[in-house]
Amino acid sequence: DILEHPKEKNSQKILPPFHLFQDEFIAFGDSITYGWDNGDAKERGYPPRLSQLLPYSFETPRVHNRGVPAETTWEAVGRVFNVITSDLALYFLLMEGTNDVSDQTYSLDATAFNLKEMAKKCLNFGVIPLISTIIPRARGRWTPIAQQRTFSLNDKIRILASDLKIILTENFQAFYDYPAASGGYESLISTDNLHPNNQGYQFMAETWYARIKEIPFPPVKITAKNTAGGKETSLTWQDDPRITQETGIAQYRIYRKTDDASVFSHIATVAASFHSYKDTNQSPGKSYSYSIASVNADGVMGALAEPVVPESIDPFPPINIQAKILMRERSIHLTWEKNPQNAPDIKVENYKIYRKIQGDSDFILIKTLPETIFKYVDKAISLEDNYLYALSTVSSDGFESMKSSPVTPVVGDPYPPLSLTANLYRRDRSIILNWKENPKNAGLMNILYYRIYRKQTGDNEFKPIKTILYPEKSHTDSDFDPEENYIYAVSAINSDDLEGPLSDSAVPVVSDPYPPKDIKVDLLVNRAFLYREYINRITWKNSPSNKDLFTITKYRIYRKKRDENDVYFQMIKEVDASYLIFLDRNLQSYQHAQEYEYGIAAVDWYNIEGPIGKQP
């Protein structure tokens, strides 16, 4: 079962990837990665679409879009190291070279060299690169020269992937073989004949995801037990649940390091049919930790599993520690589980909770809890500070375990909506609220609802008035007292039913024009030889309140009988804003003219009509 047993001093040395975010990806490339479809289409490119697929395989996935439009590989190779050391993502999705193909004077051997250098920089930093062939162009851009250079570069990419033993993603072949019955690959390319369209970007995301699922993920549930008086260590492990037959695991590589070492050394390779190994080649007085990596049939090695330390008489710290920031409560909720490695030999008495501000050197004990409690709410915090937590286990014999790995709290409740506005429309007796989705929630949690709050000026607390389904981002409030002044705020609620803090508040602003002032109605009589005409002359003045707020473009004149309710006002004329007079003619008699009451409404540049002003 032992395929390889290298001497440790000459064996492969590897830096564990625990400085990297295990579920995060960098999408690196040119405008095809960035997202372009006859213009900026970043929100419709493959990275955001891939973000929607990854939660099926990763707990907290995130995709960093690091595409740069019009970039060539000789430009990309200069920025790749800054990207991987800034984003600190474990996986790197590399698709670059389309613009090199366009420059017929540039050597594709140089392109391949640039791509290889980028992949090597990833490997040297512990990042796992996946490289893709470039997609075909369409129609007028799929010239003989473009075809020849695309085919040539993709062949070099395939050789590069094989040489470096990294995962190859065949986006070219996936596009090129797209069924003719479904429109062929050209149906996936936008009208610029170079970039994918919406359907193409979705297809590209699915192609990437299919290969990502075949990553040789590291083993899980690794155990390490010291035997023979600490002179040998027995290791056991299980495959990651994401490992499938398509992954094609061929072997496992066993790594070890001493406590004072920064890198792991390769000590053995075992066949995929084995899930155990016994390390008998140990130096007296040395303490070791172990890790294991999976290797597929192509020789591609995945990330190292999280190291394990062999069991000792000391208890083991709690596991599955989670720390969630609840901004609404201004608290951090900690949960954990008992470590099964403590049973049955070690009786647990207490758990100790330690905390420090990031940057501080030492943890401070903040709470000791009995072994039956597995949660704690830390309210003595400031949301302005960044904390780290660690827990330890105390046995009934008084032995305390080492502290757990530091846990960085993650946001548990959603960030509040942004840019809340409240527009008061007096004519409709409504207040229309609008807000924007907070981009900080994207990729972090799923928003299910928004909750609208309201309070009267002078009140201390907001009260909820409506809960609406996401993704609606507006609400019309018609149930209010027009004589009162209100303030509004909105919160988001996620799929864990956690409600985030309230947004910045919004005070309704008048959004329809003020009615005219000094409305007067005078009765005139036009006497002719055989005809007498009664006329109501209506005059008014523009409201000074409209100045600097509304541009009045016209007035609408309304009329109703004096004994009728205001709802019976009917518009009889619309005049230009330059007119401040209207003659209601052809009234049959003095009594007829006296039957009417008039109202006037101002209309602004956006054709929004304000409330009706009435004659005194």
The DSSP H or E segment spanning 482 is: none
312 pLDDT tier (thresholds 50, 70, 90): low
Mean pLDDT of 215-225: 93
Tell me: the pLDDT tens digits for 150-196? 999 999 999 999 999 999 999 999 999 999 999 999 999 999 999 99
Query: Any idea which of 15-24, 100-109, 324-333, 447-456 has the lowest mean pLDDT?
Result: 15-24
Tell me: the pLDDT tens digits for 350-392? 999 999 999 999 999 999 999 999 999 999 999 899 999 999 9
Q: Which residues pair with 424 in a beta bridge?
A: 431, 510
Q: In the numeric block, which tokens belong to residue 420? A: 């809340």
Mean pLDDT of 556-582: 94
Domains for the chain: give ranges and CATH numbers.
17-212 (3.40.50.1110), 217-286 (2.60.40.10), 319-411 (2.60.40.10), 418-510 (2.60.40.10), 517-614 (2.60.40.10)
**DSSP letter string, 243-271:** --GGG-EEEEEEEEEETT-SSEEEEEEEE
Does residue 45 contact residue 29 with C-beta atoms inside 8 Å?
A: no
pLDDT of residue 121: 96
Mean pLDDT of 121-129: 94
346 pLDDT tier (thresholds 50, 70, 90): confident
Does residue 379 contact residue 454 with C-beta atoms inside 8 Å?
A: no
Mean pLDDT of 12-40: 89
Cα dihedral 524, 527, 530, 536, rounded to 10, equals -10
Mean pLDDT of 39-57: 96
Sign of CA dihedral 378, 380, 385, 389: negative
pLDDT of residue 37: 92
Distance CA 506, CA 423 (A): 9
Burial letters for 523-552: b for 16+ Cβ neighbours within 10 Å, e otherwise? eeeeeeeeeeebbbebbbebbeebeeebeb
Q: In the numeric block, which tokens belong to residue 580? A: 């401040």
**What is the percentage of the chain residues whose pLDDT exceeds 70?**
96
Mean pLDDT of 75-89: 96
pLDDT of residue 17: 76
The DSSP H or E segment spanning 81 is: helix 73-87
Could you tell me which of 524, 485, 522 has the C-alpha nearest to residue 506?
485
**DSSP letter string, 331-373:** EEEEEEE--GGGTTT--EEEEEEEEEEBTBSS-EEEEEEETT-
Give me the residue label for tokens 């993603």.
169
Q: For strand 517-527 and strand 532-541, is the pairing parallel, antiparallel, or unpaired?
A: antiparallel
pLDDT of residue 216: 95
**Helices 46-53/198-212 angle, 10° precision:** 50
Q: In the numeric block, which tokens belong to residue 596? A: 């009417």
> What DSSP state is assigned to residue 486?
E
pLDDT at 527 > cutoff 90? no
Average pLDDT over the chain, rounded to whole? Answer: 92
**What is the percentage of the chain residues whose pLDDT exceeds 90?**
82
**DSSP letter string, 535-594:** EEEEEEE--GGGTTT--EEEEEEEEEETTS-GGG-EEEEEEETT--EEEEEEE-SHHHHH
pLDDT at 4 > cutoff 80? no
pLDDT of residue 229: 46
pLDDT at 1 > cutoff 80? no
